């Protein structure tokens, strides 16, 4: 149920639950991007309260945490290299994101929602894969990568999909669309990327999934028109509840390789994603993204997938 009524029903009736208090993550290491605020911060608190042994908090403005800026491939490649030096990495929660309501060019020259949410997140996913894979082999354990997407991926026309080069086309301000369209399209790209990435690696190497955290109070909505406050008041979950959706997908959901997790269960992504056209666009987005990253971010290790 991806329409507005389904959204209202779920936001009102579902109460996301934290990980069971008895669950122990002792001995495990996790990293979370965008963990200085909002859902990432709450997910971090929850993992630590379940006795996680080491947590890497990846933020743009570092003091005692690891630097990571999705708008710099140098930063992303450096971050990936640093994860390879870890004794182990069991979980990676790629949560950092923005919701820009008007066209802005990022420092790297792409539209900002696309850069931060899709290109940056995709680049980080490739950069941390070797560390996750090494851990699963070394400790004969299951390692996991979760990409934070959104139910909003159901709600967009994605007109850009017919362009000869979709990502280049999205650099054109004329294609930005209205309201939250571009943000939601970037979240659709997260779903498509996750599915294609999962098809390239086995769950024995790394389990890869994507999660909708639900509509939650957080700083994400700061660029939205003021009427969003009415929606938040009527429907929003707390950041803690959103954080619990993230930890659930990251740590608990079994059989979730390539899957979309919403309301703490495996569920179908949008009809477009599951359509034959969606399957073709998924492969096209993958090829375009890999080609772009090979050109713009050659320092990122892609050996596991390309």
Ligand X SMILES: NC(=O)c1ccc[n+]([C@@H]2O[C@H](COP(=O)([O-])OP(=O)(O)OC[C@H]3O[C@@H](n4cnc5c(N)ncnc54)[C@H](OP(=O)(O)O)[C@@H]3O)[C@@H](O)[C@H]2O)c1
| Residue 38 within binding range of ligand X, rule CB under 6 A | yes
Q: Considering only residues 16, 30, 32, 71, which one is a binding residue for ligand X as defined by CB under 6 A?
A: 71
Nearest to 119 by CA among 64, 171, 181, 157: 171
**Which distant-in-sequence residues (6+ apart) come within 8 Å of 110 by Cβ?**
119, 167, 170, 171
**Which distant-in-sequence residues (6+ apart) come within 8 Å of 123 by Cβ?**
70, 73, 76, 293, 297, 300
* Position with the least CB separation from ligand X: 38
| Residue 40 within binding range of ligand X, rule CB under 6 A | yes
Distances (CA, A) of 160 to 126, 212, 219: 25, 23, 28
| Residue 191 within binding range of ligand X, rule CB under 6 A | no
| Residue 6 within binding range of ligand X, rule CB under 6 A | no
| Residue 37 within binding range of ligand X, rule CB under 6 A | yes
How distant is the alpha carbon of residue 20 from its chain centre?
23
Is 73 a known active-site residue? no
Between 165 and 238, CB nearer to ligand X: 238
Output the smallest distance, CB 58 to ligand X, in A: 7
Output the smallest distance, CB 96 to ligand X, in A: 3
| Relative orientation angle of helices 276-296 and 121-138, to the nearest 10 degrees | 90
Binding residues among 126-145 for ligand X as defined by CB under 6 A: none
Q: Considering only residues 218, 241, 244, 264, which one is a binding residue for ligand X as defined by CB under 6 A?
A: 218
- Distance in angstroms between the alpha carbons of the first and the last residue of the chain: 35
Output the smallest distance, CB 162 to ligand X, in A: 25
Is the Cβ–Cβ distance between 32 and 68 less than 8 Å? no
Is the Cβ–Cβ distance between 303 and 290 less than 8 Å? no
Active-site pick, 75, 150, 262, 270: 150
* Residues lying near ligand X in the complex (CB under 6 A): 33-34, 36-40, 59-61, 68-71, 95-98, 116, 148, 150, 213, 215-216, 218-220, 242
List residues with catalytic annotation: 150, 183, 187
């Amino acid at each position: 149920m991806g329409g507005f009524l389904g959204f209202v029903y779920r936001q009102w009736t579902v109460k996301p639950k934290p990980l069971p208090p008895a669950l122990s993550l002792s001995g495990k290491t996790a990293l979370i991007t965008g963990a200085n605020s909002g859902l990432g911060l709450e997910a971090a608190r929850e993992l630590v309260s379940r006795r996680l042994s080491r947590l890497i908090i990846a933020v743009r403005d570092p003091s005692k945490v690891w630097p990571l800026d999705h708008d710099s491939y140098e930063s992303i490649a450096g971050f990936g290299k640093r994860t390879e030096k870890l004794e182990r990495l069991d979980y990676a929660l790629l949560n950092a994101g923005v919701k820009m309501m008007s066209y802005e060019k990022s420092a790297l020259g792409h539209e900002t929602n696309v850069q931060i949410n899709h290109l940056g997140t995709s680049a980080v996913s490739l950069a941390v894969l070797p560390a996750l894979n090494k851990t699963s082999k070394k400790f004969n354990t299951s390692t996991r990568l979760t990409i934070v997407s959104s139910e909003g991926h159901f709600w967009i026309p994605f007109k850009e999909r017919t362009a000869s080069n979709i990502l280049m086309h999205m650099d054109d301000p004329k294609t930005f669309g209205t309201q939250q369209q571009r943000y939601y399209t970037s979240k659709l790209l997260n779903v498509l990327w996750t599915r294609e990435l999962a098809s390239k690696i086995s769950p024995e190497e790394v389990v890869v999934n994507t999660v909708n955290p639900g509509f939650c109070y957080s700083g994400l909505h700061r660029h939205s028109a003021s009427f969003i406050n009415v929606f938040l008041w009527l429907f929003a979950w707390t950041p803690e509840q959103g954080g619990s959706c993230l930890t659930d997908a990251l740590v608990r959901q079994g059989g979730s390789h390539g899957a979309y997790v919403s309301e703490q269960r495996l569920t179908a992504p949008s009809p477009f994603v599951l359509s034959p056209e969606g399957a073709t666009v998924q492969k096209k987005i993958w090829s375009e993204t890999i080609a772009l990253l090979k050109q713009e971010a050659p320092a990122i290790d892609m050996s596991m997938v390309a």
